[in-house]
Amino acid sequence: MKNITLVFILFNLTSCKTMMIKMMLKDPKVENTQTIKDFQLKNNYSTENSLIIKADTSNAIQKLFLGMTVGYYIFDKDGNQICYNASSTCHGEQFKQLLDNKIDSFKSCKNDTATLEKVLSQTYDLSEKSVEKRQFQNSDYYVVTYWQKFLGGKRGYEDAVTWMEEEIKKNKSTLKFTFIKINTDLQENWGLVAGKKAKLKCKIKDDFMTLDVLDLPIKR
C-alpha cells in the first residue's frame, strides 16, 4: 500500500501534558460502531449519549486528533458555546467551577463554527443514526467531550470521560447537565479497512509535538 504521510502539530501544550500524551499514544486502529460499543460495555462504561464523529479520507486525521486539540466544549441551554474566563489553568478545576454554578468564571464565546447543533450534526449515534439537539433533555448546560481508544485505551477513556460523568453525578445543585461523549477513532465507514492500523511517529521539541501519520489504511 502506498504510504500516506500527514503531519499534525499540537501547539501550546505544557511539557507534562505533552509527555503524558506521548506515553499513552498507540498506533490508531480502524474501528467500527460495534467495536466502540463493545469497548464501553466490556469496561462497564455507560453508552448513554455516546456518539461517533463523522469523517472521510480527506479529513480523517483532523477528526482523529480532536481529543487533543479541543478536549471538551461547554454549551449553554440555547446551544451556544461558553468559555472559561478566570484564573485556574487546570481543566478539572474549571469544570468543577461550572458545576458549582460559579458562572462569573465563564463568558459567552458564541461563534458560528462551534454551536451544539453543528457539533452534533457531525456525529452519528451507536445505531448509526443522525443526531440533533432536540433528542436530548433540556439542560442548563451541555458538556461535550472527545475520546479515542488509541489514546490510552481504558486509562485514556477515564481521563477524558469517566471523571466528568462522576463529577456531574455528584453535583447537588439545581442545575441540569447533559453529558455527551464523542469517539474520534479511525472508522471503517470513513472509507478505511477495518482492523488495520495507521502508524504514528511522534517528535517533541520544547512545548510542541509533531505527529507523522503513516500508512492510513484506505479501502481500494
pTM beyond 0.95, yes or no: no
Which grid cell sits at 47?
A: 453508552
Question: What does the domain layout of the chain look like in residue ranges?
Answer: 6-202
**What burial class does residue 74 get, using C-beta atoms within 10 Å of its C-beta: 0-12 exposed, 13-18 middle, 19+ buried?**
buried
Is the pLDDT score of 20 beyond 70?
A: no
Radius of gyration in angstroms for the set of CA atoms belonging to the chain, rounded to a whole number:
17
Which grid cell sits at 14?
A: 505544557
- The closest alpha carbon to 168, from 140, 149, 132, 194, belongs to 140
Tens digit of each residue's pLDDT (9 = 90 or more) over 134-147:
999 999 999 999 99
Is the pLDDT score of 2 beyond 50?
A: no
Is the pLDDT score of 208 beyond 80?
A: no
> Mean pLDDT, to the nearest integer, of 155-179?
92
**Residues 167-190 as b or e (16 or more Cβ within 10 Å = b):** bbeebeeeeebbbbbbbbbbbbeb
